[in-house]
Amino acid sequence: MICNVKLLVTGGAGFIGSNFILHMVRKYPRYRIINADALTYAGNLANLRFVEHCPNYRFVRADIVNHAAMEPLFAEGLDAVVNFAAETHVDRSILQPDLFVRTNVLGTQTLLELAKKYKVGKYVQISTDEVYGTLGDTGYFNEESPLRPNSPYSASKAGADLLVRAYHETYGLDVNITRCSNNYGPYQFPEKLIPLMIRNALADQLLPVYGDGLHVRDWLYVEDHCEAVDLVLHRGKAGEVYNIGGNNERRNIEVVKTILAELGKPESLIRFVKDRPGHDRRYAIDATKIRRDLGWKPQYDFETGIRKTIRWYLDHQDWMNQVVSGEYLKYYEEQY
């Protein structure tokens, strides 16, 4: 086993980042893992309470855009960086695109510049399938699909991806970009579809579904995503993009009905609401490359993953209540 690898994870207090840190701290006890997170409304240190006292883990509150705050971490000498830090909610990006450009584009550029200056061995950018735009009823996104982002969120993520590519082409930085489909699982902030619907159903509140509910997403259980990022970090070929997806296409309305059925709640709770502007109709990922080149294979089908996820939220209602207090509650009440 490789020892003493020093890994910086940014955005590690968010949904996927915290699942990734839990995965890495337990799997690689001899790595030194630093989590740098600004703790926006989406960051929650309670996600990390099982590892916070581990000797191979350290948390630093820092904004990735802030060069002066980030530089000391790089100056310690890092072997690798995995960047999860981002503004991630499409609806918020429609209201406040400047914040998305700041964090997602400028933040990424700050990390790349520091990675170049301090000769970091590997930089992994966590991107999204949303950079490819939307699909019709057929077809899949592969790594060669053109970037056609439709929301300020996806445009800012695509901008970041292009900078990552440029730092490889221009400066020879060893980078990878991963583009994953929709994740679900424990610790997801309840503004996203699955935890929002679970929370509302448990409280017998209406479940807001955009438009006709026929938008299709390709769902991946978060642990499968973490395993994929682990593989890319260790075995990704410099400069390559890897798509990650589980072949679990579901219409939003099907997902909502599955949750209601699992919780024994009536479909009369569903409320169709005005569609989101620029709402992508369908995403579907061709993950052949990561399966073939890195041997990745998801462990969870959607039925197993969604049951496990619902169980988790049922068992962690205190977590849910804590994260939806304060700033989020105000935002949610303004929307619905």
Binding footprint of ligand NAD on the chain (CB under 6 A): 10-11, 13-17, 37-40, 42-43, 63-65, 84-88, 103, 107, 126, 128, 157, 180, 182-183, 189
CB of 266 to ligand NAD, least distance (A): 28
Name the 3-class secondary structure at 24. Answer: helix
Residue nearer to ligand NAD on the CB measure, 37 or 280: 37
CA atoms of 30 and 131, how far apart (whole Å): 35
CB of 118 to ligand NAD, least distance (A): 18
Instruction: Tell me the angle at which helices 67-75 and 107-117 cross, rounded to the nearest 10 degrees.
Output: 30
CB of 257 to ligand NAD, least distance (A): 20
Residue nearer to ligand NAD on the CB measure, 65 or 270: 65
Residue nearer to ligand NAD on the CB measure, 111 or 265: 111
CB of 135 to ligand NAD, least distance (A): 16
Is residue 187 annotated as part of the catalytic site, yes or no?
A: no
CB of 87 to ligand NAD, least distance (A): 6
Residue nearer to ligand NAD on the CB measure, 103 or 109: 103
CA atoms of 283 and 254, how far apart (whole Å): 15
DSSP string, 202-263: HTT--EEEETTS--EEE-EEHHHHHHHHHHHHHHPPTT-EEEE--S-EEEHHHHHHHHHHHH
Residue with the CB atom nearest ligand NAD in the bound state:
14
Residue with tokens 């337990």: 26
Which of 63, 87, 113, 130 is flagged as catalytic?
130
Residue nearer to ligand NAD on the CB measure, 65 or 173: 65
Which of 37, 87, 129, 174 is flagged as catalytic?
129
Residue nearer to ligand NAD on the CB measure, 206 or 308: 308
Residue nearer to ligand NAD on the CB measure, 249 or 265: 249
Residue with tokens 């930089």: 123
Closest Cα to residue 34, out of 66, 65, 75? 75
User: How many Cα atoms are found within 13 Å in the side-chain-facing hemisphere of 157?
Assistant: 29
Is residue 153 annotated as part of the catalytic site, yes or no?
A: yes
CA atoms of 277 and 82, how far apart (whole Å): 31
* Phi, psi angle pair for 141, to nearest 5°: -85, 130
Residue with tokens 């990424």: 108
DSSP string, 63-115: -TT-HHHHHHHHHT--SEEEE------HHHHHH-HHHHIIIIIIHHHHHHHHH
Which of 132, 153, 187, 283 is flagged as catalytic?
153
CB of 9 to ligand NAD, least distance (A): 10
Is residue 130 annotated as part of the catalytic site, yes or no?
A: yes
Residue positions counted in the chain: 336
CB of 55 to ligand NAD, least distance (A): 23
End-to-end CA distance of the chain: give it in Å, rounded.
Answer: 51
**Which residues are part of the catalytic machinery?**
129-130, 153
